[in-house]
Amino acid sequence: MPDAILTVAGGHGGAFAVKAGDLFALIDLEGQQAIDFVAFNAADLAETLSSVETRRATGSLYITTGAVLISSRGRPMIEMVEDTIGTHDYTVPACDPSRFAVDFDAAGHRNCLENMYEPLRVFGVTTPLALPEPFNFFQNSPVVEDGRTAVVDPPSRAGDRIVLRALMDLVCAVSSCPQDIIPGNGLRPTPVEVRYPGGAA
Ligand SMILES: [Zn+2]
């Protein structure tokens, strides 16, 4: 099992690399914490994990154990092999500087886009525009009456986790979503953990 641990402070981000076949876990350490996630083909950063391609492949707004997540070139990239919660989003974009500046009058607020971009720079990602739309694991985005969508606090509790299998060599990033103005993280961003095979980076 994984022997390297990346601990991400609440409201912050981190990046890591894994090899094809590796298992890695994303863990909500204290509960009610959305974890934004992006992935790139390590051999060609132009190929990214794609939420829209995955929605076409799954035909569903919901993913859990057994789901195969698809790349921007239509290729299997990641398989979900364990899921202790079953509530995830892959429709909502990462919070970013404009989200906080325009919608909340909170310019300079920490945000998922920069949380993931900054640690990805050492892996060769040269612009935040290269980041694909994220998978927001543990984020609770129900489809409600009349087809409208919402974002509410996650049902996850301390220690809930998903385990993913890389289907190609990957560079990945996570963000403990720093949204603390409206529900989504229990109004309190908390730490998350990534466990993955050591030496892969
Ligand atoms: Zn966020």
Per-domain residue ranges for the chain? 4-196
Q: How far apart are CA 71 and CA 45, in angstroms?
A: 11
Instruction: Give the pLDDT confidence of 29-39 residue by residue, as tens digits.
Output: 999 999 999 99
User: How many whole angstroms from 64 Cα to the centroid of ligand 1?
Assistant: 21
Rounded Cα distance between 200 and 83, Å, is 23
98-143 pLDDT tens trace: 999 999 999 999 999 999 999 999 999 999 999 999 999 999 999 9
Question: For position 201, what pLDDT does the model report?
Answer: 46
78-102 core/surface letters (b: 16 or more CB in 10 A; e: else): bbbeebebebbbbbbebbbbebbee
- Cβ neighbours of residue 137 under 8 Å, at least 6 residues apart? 26, 34, 35, 36, 37, 88, 162
Calculated CA dihedral for residues 200, 62, 68, 36, nearest 10 degrees? -20
R_g of the chain, CA atoms, integer Å: 15
pLDDT at position 199 is 61
Cα of 177 vs centre of ligand 1, distance in Å, is: 4
Average pLDDT of the residues in 80-99: 96
What percent of the chain shows pLDDT beyond 90? 94
Distances (CA, A) of 23 to 27, 80, 82: 13, 10, 10
Using the mean position of ligand 1's atoms as its centre, give its distance from the Cα of residue 186 in Å.
Answer: 13
Average pLDDT, the chain: 95
Average pLDDT (74-93) is 97
| pLDDT tens figures, 167-187 | 999 999 999 999 999 999 999
What is the distance in A from the centroid of ligand 1 to the CA of 175?
7
User: Given this model, what pLDDT does residue 198 score?
Assistant: 73
Query: Which residues crowd ion ligand 1, with CB under 5 Å?
Result: 95, 112, 177, 179
Supply the pLDDT for residue 2.
Answer: 55
